[in-house]
Amino acid sequence: MFGIYLKRELSRRKKAALVIAMGLALGIALVITVNSVSAGMQQAQDKVLKSLYGLGTDMTVTKAQAAPSSNSSGRPKFDFNAKSSSSTKQSSDRVMTQGGQSLASSLVTKVASQKGVASAVGALTLNVTKVDGSFTQGTAKSSTSSGSSGSGGSSQQGGPGGNQGGGNTGAPQVQGGGASFDVNSYSVAGVDVTDQDLGPLATSKITSGKTFTTAQTNAKVAVVSKSYAKENKYTVGKTFKISGTKYTIIGIATPDSSESTTDVYLPLKQAQTLGDAKNKVTTIYVKATDSKQITAVKATIQKNISGTTVTTSADLASTVSGSLSTASNLATSVGKWLSIAVLVAAFLVAALLTSSAVSRRVREFGTLKALGWPSRKVTRQVVGESIVNGLIGGALGIAIGLGAAYAVTAISPKLTAELGNTGGGGGMGGGPGGGGPGRQAVKNTMEIALSAPVSVTTIALAAGLAITGGLIAGAMGGWRASRMRPADALRSVS
C-alpha cells in the first residue's frame, strides 16, 4: 500500500519532485566538484614537494648560508688570457656550492643515529657557471697630416715626440678587436651511490642507460636529466667536461615531476672534488621510522645538532606560491564555504517546497485521517516521498559532479608553483638551470597539470547529503501534515 501510494503521488507531482531533486542535485554536485578539485590541488602540491625531496624523504637537514665576509663578495671570478690569435677559444668553469652552508659528512651518521630516524643520506649541491668564447685583438693605426712651409722655406718643429719635417703624427687609434663569450649555468648534485633510495636522484627514473653502481663511489661518470640532455644533445656514452675533468654519461634520468631540479648527477666524492668541499655535504635527506612522528623527529634533530635547519614537507608547503597556491587557497576556503552555503540553501528550498506541497494536499491528508490513518502514517508517507526526491537529487548531483570533475581532468589546466627558500637553503636549493652565479638560494618555478580525482569517500558523502536533504524536507513537511485534522478537509471542499 505504502509503495503503491508513494509511486502514484510522485507520478502526479513530477514537476514539483523534479524541482526539489534539481535543487539538491546542484548543491551535491558543487560539493563533489570542490572536494575533487581540492584533492587534485593536494596531489599537485605533493608532486611539487616530492620533486625537491624524493620518494620516502620526510625531511632535510641543512645549514643557513653565512653572510659574506668583508674580504669576499661571494661573486664568481673568471680569469682569461688575451691572445693575439682569434681562432683560440677560451673556456672557464666556476664551481660553487649551493643550497646553504656546507656540513661535515660525519653529521650524516650523527643524524642517522637520532631517535626516530630510519636512514639518512648526504648530498652536495653545486652550481657550475661556464663561460667560453674568444678574444680578437685590435689593430693600432696612426693618422698623419701634411704640414705647410713658411715664407722663408723653413719647416716648423713637430710637437712632443721630436717629430720634425713636413707633417704631424696624431695619437694612434685601435681599430677592430673585441670579445665574444657565452655564459651557461647549470646545477650539479653529488649523490651517495651506496644509497640512492634517498636524495636528489630518488625523484627521477632512469629511462635510458643505467644508474650508478655501489662500486662507482669516485668514478668519473654522470647521469644527466632528460631536459638537459635534450638541450645539449647528450646521449648515453658521450662525454663532457667540468673544470677540465671529463665525465662519461651512463644514464638519462626523467623526473617524476614535470621539471627536473638538477641537471647533472655525479658520485658524491667527485662532486666534493669539483667543489673543493672534501668530506662536505650541503643537504642531509632523512627518512623517519614513523611518518606520524615527523614533528617529534624534527625537534630531536634540532635539539641534538645545533646550528642546523630541519625542513619538513609542511615547511616547504608554506613556501609554495604562484597560481597553484592561489587556486589551492580558493578551493579550501571560498570553494568549501560556497559549497556549504549552496547546500544549506538547497536543503531550505527542498523543505519549503515540500511544506508548500503539503499545504496544497489538505483535502487528501484530511480524508486519509478521516478514513483512519494515524498521524505517524501520514508523516511516514511525506518523509518517504522526500527521501525518494533526495535520492533522485543525489543521483543527479553525483552524475553532474562526476561530469564536472572529468571535465577538469580532461582540460588539465596548467598551474605554476614557485618554490622559495625555506631559510636554511632548503632541499635541493637550486632549480633548473642552477640559479646563476653567486646565488645560494633560488626560486624554482614548476608547471603542474591539475586533475580532479573523485574518491569513494566523496561519493559516499554525496549519498549521505542526499538522504539528509530528503529527511530534512520530509521532517518539515511531515510535521505540517501530522497537524492536519479531518475537519480541515471538509472546510476545503467547495
Q: CA 299, 300, 304 angle in degrees (round to 5)?
A: 120
Place of cell 639518512: 120
pLDDT above 90: residue 423: no
Stronger pLDDT, 308 or 334, i.e. the higher one = 308
Mean pLDDT score of the chain: 76
C-beta separation of 300 from 114 below 8 A: yes
Q: Residue 188 pairs with which residues in a beta bridge?
A: 126, 264
Average pLDDT (428-434) is 37
pTM over 0.95: no
- Per-residue pLDDT reduced to its tens digit, 29-81: 888 888 888 888 777 776 666 655 555 577 888 887 665 555 544 555 555 55
Reply yes or no on whether the pLDDT at 171 is more than 60. Answer: yes
> How far separated are the first and last CA of the chain, in Å rounded?
29
Q: Which of 419, 426, 427, 421 minimizes the C-alpha distance to 448?
A: 419
CA distances from 122 to 286, 333, 408 (A): 9, 39, 40
Backbone angles phi, psi at 312, to 5 degrees: -100, 175
Convert the pLDDT of each residue in 278-300 to its tens digit. 999 999 999 888 878 888 999 99
Grid coordinates in use for 417? 608553483
- DSSP string spanning 124-160? EEEEEEEEEEEEE--EEE--EEE----TTSPPPBPST
Report residue 269's pLDDT band, with 50, 70 and 90 as the boundaries: very high
3-state secondary structure of 426: coil
pLDDT(277) > 70? yes
User: Per-residue pLDDT for 474 more than 80?
Assistant: yes
Q: How far apart are CA 379 and CA 144, in angstroms?
A: 118
